[in-house]
Structure 1
Amino acid sequence: MKLNKKSLLVACVLAAMSTSAFAASTTTSTSSTTVTNHDTPTSTSTRVTREQHSASTSTTNISTTEKVSTKSSGTTVSVGVGKLADYVAVPIIGATQKLAPEAFKSLQANIDEATESNSGLIKLGQLAKVKQNGKWGLVGTNGQVLLEPQYKELDPSYAEDGTYFVKSKKILEHIKVDGTVLSSGKDALDEQVKQIINHHDETVNKNQNSSNHKETYASDSYTAVSVKGKWGFTDASGNTVIAPQFKEVYTKFSEDRAFVKDAKGKTVAIDGTGKTVFEAPSNDIDAYDDGLAEFRRHISKFNLGGLLSMAVGITLSNHGGIYYGDAWNPVYDGVKRGYINRDGKIVIDSKNDAVWPITAYGTLVKNQGLIGFVNREGNYIIQPGNYDLGEFSDINGLLVLINKDNKKAGVFDVDTGKQVIPFTYDSIRFVSLTNMVVVSGDTKQLIDMTTGNVILTTSKDMGINKFSGPYTWVHKTSSDYKLIDDSGKVLFSDNTITSAMPVKHGFAPVKSQGKWGIVNLRGEWVVQPQYEDIEIL
């Protein structure tokens, strides 16, 4: 999701820019690269310029103020504001971007609220699914067992009315929380399917309402129909609007374009009148989305393109936490893809070495061993360089790249193309919309990107999970767990915890002595560790 083409200023100012900081010298060299569209003979070349910077700096010590330290098992966690490694503490999401830091925090709060699904069940006193001896049951917010573990499957109703769909053997049942059967077999299945469809429709309507700025076309509602082996289209009332004439239909109508195989066997784009607009570069093609359609070029050698997928805005592992509009690791999936606009012009060439799936900002492109970032018009925003990939935050438009020459990580703003954090850190991770974790030497720091302040400093062997709401876990590999809030305050610590899941509704499943239980924000056991698995509703 792109937020009104905002420009997110990510500024880590070198201390040389202040009177009390270290000196830095920078040299710049400029080279030109010609990027050619090879998919069409009428393509034009785009000359792009890449600036290469090298800097030598003296180092400064990491310092913090207003420290509050909590020690456990010999590990120190320091909380407070101060310097961000070699840089003065300034806003990372800073002063001149169109969206203010407060707006980012508000957006993060909205995202957190959206992820708190099934909140209605919490109000009914229903807390979590628990698994024992391979069977699922239910516990309440008071820690008491509501349903003894006895079901192979147990899923809450989409209606959030406190009822559940369960399978004890092979029969699906719709039950109340006290075990009373409301329906079973086909009746239960019909009710479950109905709820799923209603939930899907509600989700679609919400998405459409959030995307009401997009232009709509009458053809968006057209349906493909086959008559005597030929394909045409009908409108929402069932009236024929494009007579059956095509051999195949490859995509639905979107943005007044659909891809079909015409009578001559060519893959073409048609408009809502059935008129051919242009010939497509491939018959392996997707419907238009925000002005671009992805097409794929088949290659003779085996690739993993059809086997791997990318998760944008993903659900992370249980131990990593969840925040939607998430940072994700852009691992290339092997697909030879390209993108065309509504006029049929190829804006991103499928003959590059690698093209990643498109985002609201554009996409990563690799060619001749160099990686850059191209916007949705096909222009390089980040010039190709000798990089490895780190994380990408698709809401902030922030991309971590690793300089292969010095093995250091930096951050680029893919909206402006500016490098906003130099190649200084051993690693950089985004752990929420407004927080990142950096590692330099033996030190790991949690940084508030809206202020530039250090929230927490610890050793690099300590893990800092992704935030779930305003909370996250800090821990060693499988011990010494601490729950902190987004100010860095340690809410509690427990050296008996060996694994922990994200906080949801103010509760978190944690593992102790090989079993799972549930703790609240004060570290009190709501459910004693006794189960094989737990899922907060």
Structure 2
Amino acid sequence: MNLNKKSLLVACVLAAMSTTAFAATESTSSTTVTNHDTPTSTSTRVTREQHSTSTSSATVSSTEKTSTKSSGASVSVGLGRLGDYVAAPIISPQQKAPEAIKALQNVVANDGYIKLGQLAMVKQSGKWGLVGTDGKVLLEAQFKEMESSISADGTFFVRRKKELEHIKGDGTAVAANSEEAYQHYKTDKYTRKAIADAALDGNVQKDNTEYASSSYTSFSVKSKWGFNDASGKTVIEPQFKEVYTGFSEDRAFVKNAKGKTVAIDGSGNTVFEAPTNDIDPYKNGLAEYRRHISKFNFGGLLGLAVGIGLSNHGGFYYGDAWNPVYDGVKRGYLDRNGNIVIDSKNDAVWPMTEHGTLVKNEGKLGFMNRQGQYVIQPGNYDAGIMDYSSSLIVLKNKDNEKSGVFNVVTGKQVVPFVFDSIDFVSPTRMSVVKGENRQLIDMNSGQVVFTTLKDMSIDVFGGQYAWVHKGSAEYQLIDETGKVLFRDKDKTISQAAMFRHGYAPVKSKGKWGVMNTNGEWIVQPIYDEVNVL
């Protein structure tokens, strides 16, 4: 167990490449959901000509702006227009983050450690210690490994040598011994996993039916498999050659006496024959299945990114912190009756989210809902990142190499294909590049609130604050309104992590410390690593 390097990644899981042959011949027809903002078709293809009409050659302008200089970088702050795209809301007040994402955001917002005066875990000479919000050392660097509790209760899991300890911020023991500490640690990890799994599973409205089979466990007698209930009573006699999944939503996948992969219900009756034995249990009405392919080439896709991840500096990344390419898995999805909702024979199918998933077929990329209907019609697109909390996704139009934004629930295009790049940097802010400018856009109003040069980066917001910088230099701090709060006039900052509870790990002259939102050092930069709590 490597405590200090573990991280909670909430995003689509990259499934392993299947090695099971796919022999099924079923296919399903494509169904479309009409929207009035994207080209519609009853087929799965959209022509180049249809998409080229959405291109705009307008230049970016800004009004009511004031200009300043920072280490040679021209910066302008103020409200404005997005070229010929009149400023308009990109997200509506009715849009709400999924409950699973809210659970993660609650973890982010938990300031229990700060309220106790505990600011950050710090590493020095290979050992970890603890500093307080006043910058003073609370625990000398003495632990080989150190991790805070997810409950933010002022306790930590540490190792001095081999034995695991559960301690308070003053070093006193919470657990009587290593075994008890490990039980506490397991509970903590279980909580972390449950929160992560909820987001990964899509947080869809679940079937409220209580199935007795949910408690069934498999057992074998003379190489034949059956199921017992929670009391140990046999409810399905041993008869199957193999069990591929346990029961979920009153379905389990097994190999029957004829060697076929089938789904059975809680009575042991066959419901349908499955297309492959490389299949997952049902989650919210869908089961992912996979088929083996000898080779694949899906280069060029930017991939689907969702959720929030715990960074190695104590902060939580949002949106584009984790942006994997399509993983090459030939996946599809079945409903509880065995109908193929999304076919694995498509060119590419991304992992399922609450609202659906990206599907590429015949070279065209679109977004299907969980019923297998196209919400965003297929086009000549590459996939960008997805803002899971507001149900928005970036798509790149390969005809003009420009990016825009679509709502994956309504299918409407809310930002046209006019930007060179688009990144979501908070639940209400996105960073765009057009021409020589990078702009920060308030997605509630559609207005530009901050403008800088395109070679400047706007980092992910931590609360209301974000770093702006050019590579490892020219650091400045802005708030959500675009106001510059601090500039590194002495040019000593070479790296800065996201703010959390008003504090950020900052690297200066090769060492890490902690700054507040005024750019003041709360913890001097003398440490090898810093994790804000």
**1:272-312 CA deviation, whole Å, 9 max, x = no partner?**
221110000000001111221110001234899xxxx9863
Aligned equivalents of 1:162 and 1:422: distance in 2? 47
In the alignment, is residue 535 of structure 1 matched against residue 531 of structure 2? Answer: yes
Q: Aligned AA for 2:72?
A: G
Aligned equivalents of 2:346 and 2:445: distance in 1? 39
CA contact (8 A) 1:91 1:450 kept: yes
Shift of the 485–401 alpha-carbon distance from structure 1 to 2, 3 Å rule, reads same
Shift of the 88–104 alpha-carbon distance from structure 1 to 2, 3 Å rule, reads farther
CA contact (8 A) 2:512 2:530 kept: yes
Aligned match of 1:164: 156
Shift of the 295–400 alpha-carbon distance from structure 1 to 2, 3 Å rule, reads same
Aligned equivalents of 1:468 and 1:62: distance in 2? 28
Residue among 276, 287, 295 paired with 1:282: 276
Residue among 438, 441, 453 paired with 1:444: 438
Aligned match of 2:216: 223
Q: CA deviation at 1:424?
A: 1.1
Shift of the 130–273 alpha-carbon distance from structure 1 to 2, 3 Å rule, reads same
Aligned match of 1:429: 423
Aligned equivalents of 2:386 and 2:338: distance in 1? 29
Aligned equivalents of 1:504 and 1:510: distance in 2? 12
Please say which of residues 218-227 and 503-512 is displaced more in the overlay: 218-227
Aligned match of 1:500: 496
Shift of the 319–472 alpha-carbon distance from structure 1 to 2, 3 Å rule, reads farther
Shift of the 60–369 alpha-carbon distance from structure 1 to 2, 3 Å rule, reads closer
CA contact (8 A) 1:104 1:434 kept: no
Q: CA deviation at 1:222?
A: 2.1
Aligned equivalents of 1:531 and 1:343: distance in 2? 58
Shift of the 57–492 alpha-carbon distance from structure 1 to 2, 3 Å rule, reads closer
Aligned match of 1:63: 62
Shift of the 156–317 alpha-carbon distance from structure 1 to 2, 3 Å rule, reads closer
Aligned equivalents of 1:446 and 1:315: distance in 2? 22
Residue among 176, 185, 201 paired with 2:178: 185
Q: CA deviation at 1:39?
A: 5.1
Q: What SS does the aligned partner of 2:212 have? A: helix
CA contact (8 A) 1:219 1:272 kept: yes
CA contact (8 A) 1:278 1:344 kept: yes
Aligned match of 1:453: 447
CA contact (8 A) 1:321 1:466 kept: no
Query: Percentage identity across aligned positions?
Result: 58
Shift of the 402–211 alpha-carbon distance from structure 1 to 2, 3 Å rule, reads closer
CA contact (8 A) 2:314 2:531 kept: no
Q: CA deviation at 1:536?
A: 0.9
CA contact (8 A) 1:501 1:508 kept: yes
Shift of the 220–431 alpha-carbon distance from structure 1 to 2, 3 Å rule, reads farther
CA contact (8 A) 1:325 1:395 kept: no
Q: CA deviation at 1:492?
A: 1.6
Shift of the 456–206 alpha-carbon distance from structure 1 to 2, 3 Å rule, reads closer
Aligned equivalents of 1:520 and 1:295: distance in 2? 49
CA contact (8 A) 1:108 1:433 kept: no
Q: Unaligned regions of 5+ residues in structure 1, if any?
A: 1-37
Aligned match of 1:4: none
Aligned match of 1:73: 71
CA contact (8 A) 1:295 1:338 kept: yes
Between the two structures, name the one with larger relative contact order (CA 8 Å, sep ≥ 6): 2
CA contact (8 A) 2:97 2:388 kept: no
Q: What SS does the aligned partner of 1:480 have? A: strand
TM-score scaled to structure 2, two decimals?
A: 0.82
Aligned match of 1:90: 88
Aligned equivalents of 2:273 and 2:365: distance in 1? 30
Please say which of residues 149-158 and 192-201 is displaced more in the overlay: 192-201
Aligned equivalents of 1:205 and 1:356: distance in 2? 18
Shift of the 333–41 alpha-carbon distance from structure 1 to 2, 3 Å rule, reads closer
Q: What count of residue pairs does the alignment treat as equivalent?
A: 489
Q: What SS does the aligned partner of 1:192 have? A: helix
Q: Aligned AA for 1:343?
A: N
Q: Aligned AA for 1:508?
A: A
Q: CA deviation at 1:333?
A: 0.2
In the alignment, is residue 134 of structure 1 matched against residue 126 of structure 2? Answer: yes
Residue among 108, 114, 125 paired with 1:115: 108
Please say which of residues 513-522 and 312-321 is displaced more in the overlay: 312-321
Aligned equivalents of 1:176 and 1:80: distance in 2? 47
Aligned equivalents of 1:316 and 1:271: distance in 2? 39
Aligned equivalents of 1:191 and 1:320: distance in 2? 21
Q: Unaligned regions of 5+ residues in structure 2, if any?
A: 1-22, 32-41
Aligned match of 2:474: 480
In the alignment, is residue 391 of structure 1 matched against residue 385 of structure 2? Answer: yes
Aligned match of 2:142: 150
Aligned match of 1:253: 247
Q: CA deviation at 1:113?
A: 3.9
Shift of the 351–106 alpha-carbon distance from structure 1 to 2, 3 Å rule, reads closer
Aligned equivalents of 2:195 and 2:322: distance in 1? 27
